[in-house]
């Protein structure tokens, strides 16, 4: 009877082992069939997340580059505008000075011509009075020209 029990025990153990192995294989097959479904979803999600992250990083880098370039170009424009403004101001001052000088010389020349053209027979008193009148006219014209220059300078200061 000892042999029978041992044979039964071996068969039972062998059958139990077979059942466990078959059960494990079935579980592996079932779990294996679900794994690719979950893997596809995980890989798709991972790729989407990675792509979104890289897109956000690229957009951020582009924005930063644009802002930096914008700052550089703005500063460059400011410098160029300062230079052009100074050049224009110098030209305007030079032109105003030339106009003042030209008008003053023209008035003096005109006064001299009038004085020369006067009848030489007039008395010295008349000549002196006329000369004073012309000198007053020249002084008045010079004053007006200086006022125009002051107004021009005030206009420049106001423009700044």
74-107 per-position pLDDT tens digit: 999 999 999 999 999 999 899 988 988 888 888 8
Which tens digits make up the pLDDT trace of 99-149? 888 888 888 888 888 777 765 556 666 777 778 888 888 888 888 777 777
CB contact set of 114 (below 8 Å; sequence gap of 6+):
134
User: CA–CA separation, 90 vs 95, rounded Å?
Assistant: 9
CB 141 within 8 A of CB 104: yes
């Amino acid at each position: 009877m000892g042999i029978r029990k041992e044979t039964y025990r071996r068969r039972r153990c062998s059958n139990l082992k077979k059942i466990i192995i078959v059960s494990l294989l079935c579980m592996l097959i079932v779990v294996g069939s679900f794994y690719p479904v979950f893997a596809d979803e995980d890989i798709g999600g991972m790729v989407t997340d990675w792509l979104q992250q890289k897109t956000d990083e690229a957009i951020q880098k582009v924005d930063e580059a644009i802002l930096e370039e914008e700052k550089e170009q703005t500063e460059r424009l400011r410098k160029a505008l300062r230079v052009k403004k100074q050049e224009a101001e110098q030209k305007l001052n030079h032109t105003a000075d030339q106009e003042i000088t030209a008008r003053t010389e023209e008035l003096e020349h005109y006064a001299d011509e009038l004085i020369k053209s006067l009848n030489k027979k007039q008395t010295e008193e008349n000549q002196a009075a006329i000369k004073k009148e012309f000198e007053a006219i020249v002084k008045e014209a010079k004053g007006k020209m200086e006022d125009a220059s002051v107004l021009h300078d005030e206009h420049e200061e106001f423009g700044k």
